[in-house]
Amino acid sequence: MAIILIMIIERREAEVIRGLLKTKKWVLVYGRRKTGKTFLIQNFITFDEYFFAKKDRTIISQKGGEQKTISYETFLELLQRSLAEDRTMVVDEFHRLGEDFLDRLHAGGSRGKLILVSSTLSLAKKVFGRNSPVLGMFAEAPVGLLSLEDVLKKITREGMGNRELVETALIMREPTTIDYFSGEKQGRKVLIDILQSTLNTIPALVGEIFGEEEKTLSGVYEGVLRAIAGGNVVSTEISSYLFSHGLIKKDDPSAIQQYLNNMLSFGLIKRMRIYNKNKFVYKHVSPLMRIFYYADEKYNISERKPSQQEMERIVDDIMPRVAEDSIREFLSDKLGLEESLFEAKDFDIDACLLRFKEPEVAVEIKWKAKPDSEDVSKASASLGRIKVKRKILFVQDKKLLGKAPEGIEVADILSFL
């Protein structure tokens, strides 16, 4: 039995926010919903009072363990007085207060320490927009998913093989999934439970990011996620997908660049260089979102109820590619190198990690229980054709592979923890 014991994870973003609070800047904490922004602030940042804005613009005030509801005008008076006294104040879901709230902040001057928290892109962008009344007053603190390394270090390994350890951790990067990991089922089995219970939740997370005034555009943003999940990972392919589904009026990659930039800035997707080519690919940031949109695009899981066996086949199909992407990101972060891919006419490399745009580490990832001799031979041949300082064959468990090919380092996840 492999029971996950979860400890409270102090994320690296907490240190960033604490550092920004030592400057003369106020701080804007933003990111899509359900990434743990509120939990992060309430557990790892010292503040004097916490305000939560409701949709009707009334405010829930939390101070010293007490909670009460106050009016918007009372909130403004308390906020301005507290900032004038150099206190640290937090306003969560500030975008619900409207643009006039930013005008009121500007009128009061940048005294004290203020943390604004938002899960809506449009208002977050307006803080840094050219015509923003508070332009220059805030420092950015984006909050994305938990890092794979942070999760790996906090879960127990008892009774878990390396495959289950990695796959469990990459799913748990989404804070909302952690409660699912409390018993015997882990990894792919829990992922199936999550998918079947969040068929409506995951698309809703995307729509809520962009705010009411951009609801008509949210279909385009979701279309981008579906395109990428289906293997359309360059801008020309994404544009063609959106056009073929009637989401844009013209098949023009330049017309979708702003959509892509918005999604990049809000942590929904990331852009990765193809080494030695003037080409970039786009990937999902969230493994869970990628798996959901892949399964829905290919198997239409949101419109029907797939059987347990079918869900198992779907997850078995996509998980090696999700693990590959997660491991590439993990290694680039761990080694302090830029994440990229390598493509040639007759071979490619799963991970080409760059220092100052030049390849330093090449990695082939074989995500199966025990790669056979043909897998090892192919990986060795591909790695042998690229000039780098370090060549790695990354497997689930290096103890099962035996002797490493000459000039190649065999590693697994425990090699880097």
pLDDT of 187 reads 82
* Phi, psi for 303 (deg, rounded to 5): -100, -5
In this structure, the dihedral spanned by the alpha carbons of residues 55, 61, 62 and 67, taken in order and rounded to 10 degrees, is -90
Tracing tokens 């942590």 back to the chain, one arrives at 267
Rounded Cα distance, 111 and 121, in Å: 25
CB 116 within 8 A of CB 94: yes
Structure tokens at 416: 């880097």
CATH of domain 12-142: 3.40.50.300
Q: What is the pTM of this model?
A: 0.86
Domain 202-299: CATH architecture, name and number where available:
Orthogonal Bundle (1.10)
Give dist(CA 121, CA 403) in Å, integer.
51
Angle at 296 between CA 292 and CA 152, to 5 degrees: 15
Domain boundaries, the chain: 12-142, 148-199+308-416, 202-299
Asked if 269 and 121 count as a contact pair (C-beta separation under 8 A), the reply is no
Alpha-carbon Rg for the chain in angstroms: 23
**Longest distance between any two alpha carbons in the chain, whole Å:** 71
Task: State how far the Cα of 334 lies from the Cα of 416, in Å rounded to an integer.
Answer: 8
- How many other CB atoms are there within 10 angstroms of residue 396's CB atom? 24
Tens digit of pLDDT per residue, the chain (417 long)?
454 555 577 788 999 999 999 998 999 998 888 888 999 999 999 999 999 999 899 999 998 878 999 999 999 999 999 999 999 999 999 988 988 888 888 887 778 999 999 887 666 667 767 677 777 788 889 898 999 998 888 886 667 889 999 999 999 998 888 888 876 777 888 899 888 887 777 777 666 666 544 555 578 888 999 999 999 999 999 999 999 999 999 999 999 999 999 889 888 899 999 998 889 999 999 999 999 999 999 999 888 888 889 999 999 999 999 999 999 999 999 999 999 999 888 889 999 999 999 999 999 999 998 888 888 999 999 999 999 999 999 999 999 887 778 889 999 999 998
Residue 313 DSSP symbol: H
Task: Report pLDDT for 109.
Answer: 74
The confidence score (pLDDT) of residue 241 equals 97
